[in-house]
A and B are shown apart, each in its own frame.
Chain A
C-alpha cells in the first residue's frame, strides 16, 4: 500500500506492506534514523515520535494507520542548530549513548507544551515509559527541569552540568 506522510514539514511517500510499523517505515523506508527501535512491543519508548502533535510509540502504530498524518521525529526538532531542549540535554549530560534520547525529547516536548512548569514528580512520571540504559535518569530530569517556565536557563552557565533538580532556583516541588 502507498503511505504518504508529512515528516518534519516535508511530504514523503513510499509503498509498504500493511504489517510494517510506523517506526520501520520512518527509519528504513524514509531514512529518518533518529527513530530508534528497541523492543518493538511498546515497552521501552525509544521509538516515540510526535504524530499530529501528540506522542506515539511508532512501533505500536502501523504505517498504514498513520497515512496522511503529520509526523515530527528528532531530526525535526532541530532546524539549523539544536533547539533549546536538545541544548539543555547536551548541557546537562543527559545523554550517553543517545539511544533513548529521541524518545525522551519527544515526551519532554509534549510535557512542556502542556505543562510549562512541571514538578520533578511530573517530569519523572512523564518519562517513566521511556527506558534509558545509560544515564540513570537524573540528568535527563535535570535537563527537562531546566526548561521550566519562568526560569528557563537557556544560557549555558559555568558549573551547571548535572545540576540537580532541587538546585533549580525559583521552583519548589511539593
Chain B
C-alpha cells in the first residue's frame, strides 16, 4: 500500500522541530517503524516532522559516570562504537539482535525507545540499566526514568509535542557482566521473548543483578523478585533456576499469532537461566 498524503517538514534545528510538533504531527527519525506504518495507513498524520538531520548523534561518557547517546544515533553506529562496547557491552550485544543490518543502518536509538514495541530489545536494555531519557518540547526540557516511560504497547510518557533528544545510562560498576538470550522467528526479527541481564559480582557473591524481559508483557518488565533472590548470594545452578522461575512469574504475556502466552512464560524461564549463566560464567 501507499501512504496517505501528508505535509512534510525537514527540521534544521531542534527548536524548529519542537515548534512544529503537536496533535496531528509525527516525528520521523530513521523511519524503520514509521514509514511501514505510513505505507500500511495504520498511521495518517497531517504533518511529518523529519528530524533525521538534526545533530543529536553524539556518543560519549559524562563526568557523572553515564553513557550519553544522542536520540538520533543510528543503531549501527551505536553497535560499532568502541565507547559503547567498552562501557555498556550489554547494549552493544543487544544491538546486534535489533533488525537486520539494513534496518540498523537507518533506525535510531531514540526511535526504538519512542516506538516502544513490547518485544523490542532496547527498551528492555534501558529498563535493565536504569536509563534516563531527555525530552524537549516548546515548554522546555524534562527527564523521564526508563521505569516510568513505557506505558503500554507503543505507548510512552512522551506527549505529542515532545521530542526525545538524549538517553543517559549510568555505567555499571567494575565486576559487572551481562547476558542476552533471545528467541525470535528468524535471526534479527523482533523477539518472541528476550531476556537481558546485568550481574555485578564481588568476591564470588552477587552484589547487584538486573533482569529485564521483552515480549512477555504489554511493556518491557523488570523481574525484581528474581533480582532480589540473587542479591547477596553465590551463583549456583539452583539459585539461577529459582531466579528464572521468579522472572517467569513476573510476566504477563498475551496469546498472539507467534506464540501462546504459556509458551512465552516458559521461555522466559529458559532464557533467564541462559542469560544469567552467560553473565556469571568465568
Contact = CB atoms under 8 A, between A and B. Distances in A.
B5 A128 contact: no
B8 A129 contact: no
Given A19-B2, A60-B36, A129 B31 contact: no
B139 interface: no
Given A18-B8, A54-B76, A60 B31 contact: yes
Interface in B38-90: 38-40, 48, 50, 52, 76
A18 B7 contact: yes
A84 B6 CA distance: 43
Interface stretch (B102-110, B199-207, B216-224, B252-260): B102-110
Nearest to B47: A18
Contacts, number: 96
B40 A55 contact: no
Given A42-B32, A64-B10, A129 B103 contact: yes
Interface in A15-62: 17-19, 21, 24, 40-42, 45, 48, 51, 54-57, 59-62
Contact of B188 (A18, A42, A129): A129
B152 to A, nearest CB: 22
Interface residues of B, number: 31
A111 B1 CA distance: 30
Interface string B166-206: 00000000000000000000111000000000000000000
Interface string B1-19: 1111111101000000000
A1 B9 CA distance: 11
B39 A125 contact: no
Contact of A61 (B48, B106, B186): B106
A65 interface: yes
B35 A64 contact: no
A65 B52 contact: yes
A77 interface: no
Contacts of B40: 41
B186 A128 contact: yes
A60 B39 CA distance: 9
B187 A42 contact: no
A129 B104 CA distance: 12
A48 B102 contact: yes
B38 to A, nearest CB: 7
Interface in A86-121: 106-107, 110-111
A41 B103 CA distance: 12
A65 B48 CA distance: 11
Nearest to B30: A60
A126 interface: yes
Given A128-B186, A128-B187, A60 B1 contact: no
Residue of B4, B40, B50, B106 contacting most chain A CB atoms (<10 Å): B106
Contacts of A40: 1-2, 36, 39
B6 A59 contact: no
B38 A61 contact: no
A65 to B, nearest CB: 6
Interface of A: 1, 17-19, 21, 24, 40-42, 45, 48, 51, 54-57, 59-62, 64-65, 106-107, 110-111, 124-126, 128-130
6 contacts: A18-B8, A40-B2, A41-B39, A60-B106, A110-B102, A125-B187
